[in-house]
Amino acid sequence: MFCLGEMPEPLARLGAMADNRTMKAIHPLRPWFMWATGAAFFYFAFFQRTAPSVMVPELMRDFSVTAAALGNLSAFYFWSYTAVQLPTGVLADRWGPRRLLTASALFAGAGGLLFATADGLAMTSLGRLMVGAAAGFAFVCTLKISTDWFPPHRMGLLSGLLMMAGMLGGVSGQAPLAAAIAGYGWRASMSVIALAVLGVAVAAWLIVRDKPPAAEGTAAAARPHESVLAGLRRCLGRSQTWYVAGFGFFLLPPMFAFGALWGVPYLTQVHGFSRPEAAFAASLILLGWGICAPVVGWLSDRWRRRKAPMVVAASLNCLCMTSLIYGPAWSPAMVYAILFANGMATAGMVGLFVAVREHNAARDAGAAMAFANMAVIGCGAFFQPLTGWLLDQGWTGEMAGGVRVYTRAAYDGAFWVVAASPAVATVMALLVKETHAKPQVD
């Protein structure tokens, strides 16, 4: 005899055998293909973040906008990306990444086409808004795949590799995109990218699965008994979540405000770079970041340290940007070296997402990582238009080809936020408790 709800031993053995057969049916490379699909979408997301930096003259001319207005146009991506982060984390925990990645990639492709073909600022802004909202699902859903399909000791490496994929997208959105725009125009170039991401949507539906078969039953049984927002409330109730998120918010103005928007016009107007040279220089931030992120992630796993990379990332960011902006008249080679060093230092942000995961329970992983990512992207939404507004305050009225030209003094008066914010990030990093690569919450 057996009690209601229990399974007779023979049936239990058959169920276990069925689970084993299902697991064996999954090719060992399948998790990597799923991860790669999410990483491809994140590549597109980062491409879109940096793309406006090489279109500044075209966008200002075609839509007759000021620096502040252009900053807002670019920041629409960041605002909508930020707005969806908390829902993304909750939905990733509750529904899984397959449907979210597929639907968001379709929406991103549609928004990209609208951005590329719109003939007015309002519709172009709407397209940018759509792309940002859709791209906001890429990072957290891919981290969710990493959490569910890979062992915990690989999280640092996988986070680093994912950031490397973003780097490749960001670099592609600068010097290569600048060359494409020179040959085909910005509208045609951005239309091709939008069509490519529609292909990612198809791949996500065909390849990605939500959880390993052995975990699906347990997860499905647990979901109905818990409020959708319960995980979010738990992670927001932990002070370490806020310290880690604050670190991310203040760390990245050098990447988002300088590298992704204002760095190219700064280097052309102040340092005399050509646009391809300036785009290459700005892309060195991403290049250094992407090359070093997997290495830092691997070392973080191996040495079981999350805090140290964060402290190094913030302090060196501050040093590099202060030297670049307020130092002597650097040679082009030194400008390249400083920006590459800044990117290498930024690779320490790998510890951010692993630390916020380890300071929260596994069931809250999606919500915790989404909140941290919301703070990271909120940095771009806040600092891009702020920097543009500060530039307009220092504008002397000079125009060239229908585009505003800013002096060295105007850039110095605007870029202090880019140099100072990593100092605040350093303080946040020092407040984070070391996890030694172990979960701190059951």
pLDDT one-digit tens code per residue, 281-296: 988 998 888 888 888 8
Alpha-carbon distances of 31 from 36, 142, 145, 159, rounded to whole Å: 8, 11, 8, 15
Pairwise CA distance, residues 442 & 438, whole Å: 10
Pairwise CA distance, residues 391 & 67, whole Å: 7
| 84-102 pLDDT, tens digit each | 877 877 777 777 789 999 9
Query: What beta strand segments (E) does 330-406 contain?
Result: 399-400, 403-404
pLDDT by residue for the chain (442 residues), tens only, comes to 334 334 344 434 434 443 444 444 567 788 899 999 999 999 998 898 888 888 888 888 888 888 888 888 888 898 898 888 778 777 777 777 899 999 999 999 999 999 999 888 889 899 999 999 999 899 888 988 888 888 877 777 788 788 889 888 988 988 899 889 988 999 999 999 999 999 999 999 999 988 776 655 544 444 444 555 777 788 889 999 999 999 999 999 998 899 888 898 899 989 999 988 998 898 899 888 888 888 888 888 888 888 999 999 999 999 999 999 999 989 999 999 999 999 999 988 888 888 888 898 877 877 788 788 889 888 988 998 899 999 999 999 888 877 788 999 999 999 999 999 999 999 999 999 998 878 777 6
Q: What's 30-211+227-431's CATH class?
A: mainly alpha
**Contact present, 282 and 259 (Cβ < 8 Å):** yes
Alpha-carbon distances of 297 from 120, 336, 374, 416, rounded to whole Å: 43, 24, 21, 30
Q: Say if pTM beats, i.e. exceeds, 0.75.
A: no
Instruction: Determine how many CB atoms are found less than 10 A away from the CB of residue 185.
Output: 13
Instruction: Determine how many CB atoms are found less than 10 A away from the CB of residue 365.
Output: 27
Alpha-carbon distances of 357 from 62, 176, 289, 350, rounded to whole Å: 44, 35, 21, 12
| 183-196 pLDDT, tens digit each | 899 999 999 999 99
- Domain-wise residue ranges, the chain: 30-211+227-431
